[in-house]
Amino acid sequence: MRITFLGTGSAMPTGSRFQTGIVVEDDGRRVLVDCGSGVLHRLQQSGVGYENVSTVLLTHHHVDHVSDLMALLKARWLAGEEQLEVVGPTGTKAFIEGLLSVHDYLDGRVDLQVREVVPGEEFSVAGFDVEGFETRHSMDCLAYRFGDAFTFSGDSEAFEGLANFSDGSDVLAHDCSFPDEVDVSNHPTPSQLGEALSGTDIGRVYLTHLYPHTDGNHEAMLKSIAEHYDGDVGFAEDLLSVEI
Ligand SMILES: [Zn+2]
Ligand SMILES: [Zn+2]
C-alpha cells in the first residue's frame, strides 16, 4: 500500500501546505480521502492525476476537506472521465445535492454516485475494506481505518477511543493542528495526542492538519508527544509518499 499526502494544512494557509487530501493506493486500487483546497493541483504534481481518481472518501464536510470536490468533478468532466463516486458520513447526500444546486451547470456531467457510511460498520470503497469511527470534532466526522495498514484520524481531538481504533496500524495520520500553547477544542494539542497514544502499538505516526501556529514549533511538538508516547512520530509534508 502507498499513502501520498497531498495536503497537510488546515483551514488557515501556511503558504506551503495545501488543505486536506490523502491518496491511498494498493495493487491498482485508489481512493482519495478528503479533497480540500489545492488537492486538485497536488493530484497533478504527485503524478497520481485527477483522471485516475474516481472515488473520494470524505471524513466530514468542513470546507478545508471538500473545497476542491466540485473542482475535481469539473476537471474530470472536461477530461472526458465519466464517473465519480463520493462516499462520506451521514449528510453527504444532502451536502452534494446542495453543491450541485449551487453549481447547477455541473449537475449530470458525470455519473455521480454518492454513498453514506456509518461508524462501526466495515464497508468497501474502491476495493478497500474500511472501517469508520466517530471522532470528536465540531461537526460529525469519521476516522477511517484501512485494515492493519493505515488509519486516518480525520479532524478530531485526541482521545482513548480513537487511539484504540488506530492501535496496531502500520501508519497513523493524525490531526495535530496546534502546538501546546494554543488553547483549543475539536483538535488535539501534542501533549493530548501523546497522552492518548500512550500504550498503543503503531508503526509510525504522521502529524497533519497543521495550522500556521505550528510553524517553527515542530521540535517542541515532537518533544511534547514524546513525554507520553515513545513510538515513532514525524510531520507529514505535502507530496510525501509512504510505502507500507
Ligand atoms: Zn473539520
Ligand atoms: Zn479540517
CA of 122 to the centre of ligand 1 (A): 23
| CA 155 to ligand 1 centroid distance, Å | 5
How confident is residue 14, by pLDDT bands cut at 50, 70 and 90?
A: very high
- For residue 157, what pLDDT is reported? 98
Q: 165 alpha carbon to ligand 1 midpoint, in Å?
A: 19
- Give the span between the Cα atoms of 20 and 83, in whole angstroms: 22
Cell of 157: 481531538
Q: Note the ligand closest to the C-alpha atom of 19.
A: 2
Which pLDDT band, with edges at 50, 70 and 90, does 54 fall under? very high
Spatial distance between the Cα atoms of 186 and 208, rounded to a whole number of angstroms: 15
Angle subtended at Cα 86 by Cα 154 and Cα 51, rounded to the nearest 5 degrees:
105
Q: What is the mean pLDDT of residues 42-52?
A: 97
Centre of ligand 2 from the C-alpha of residue 143, in Å: 12
Residue pLDDT, tens place only, 130-141: 999 999 999 999
Distance 11 CA to ligand 2 centre (A): 6
Q: Retrieve residue 80's grid coordinates.
A: 472526458
Ligand nearest to C-alpha 20: 2
pLDDT band at 243 (very low <50, low <70, confident <90, very high): very high
**Model confidence at 18, in pLDDT bands (50, 70, 90)?**
very high
Position 87 scores a pLDDT of 98
Categorize the per-residue pLDDT at 101 as very low, low, confident or very high, splitting at 50, 70 and 90: very high
All residues at 6 or more sequence positions from 90 whose CB lies less than 8 Å from its CB, including other chains? 116, 118, 140
* pLDDT category of residue 154 using cuts at 50, 70 and 90: very high
Taking the C-alpha atoms of residue 34 and residue 40, their distance in angstroms, rounded to an integer, is 11
- Say how many Å lie between the CA of residue 208 and the centre of ligand 2: 10
pLDDT, position 104? 98
- For 158-175, what is the mean pLDDT? 98
Ligand closest to 141 (CA) is 1
**Ligand 1 center from residue 79 Cα (angstroms):** 30
Options 26, 27, 34, 64, the catalytic residue: 64
pLDDT > 70: what percent of the chain? 100
What is the grid cell recorded at 209? Answer: 492538519
If you average pLDDT over residues 98-126, what whole number do you get?
A: 97
CB contact at 8 A, 128 and 55:
no
**pTM beyond cutoff 0.95:** yes
Q: What is the mean pLDDT of the chain?
A: 98
Q: Which residue has the cell 492525476?
A: 49
64 in catalytic set:
yes
Q: Which ligand has its closest atom nearest to the C-alpha of 89?
A: 1
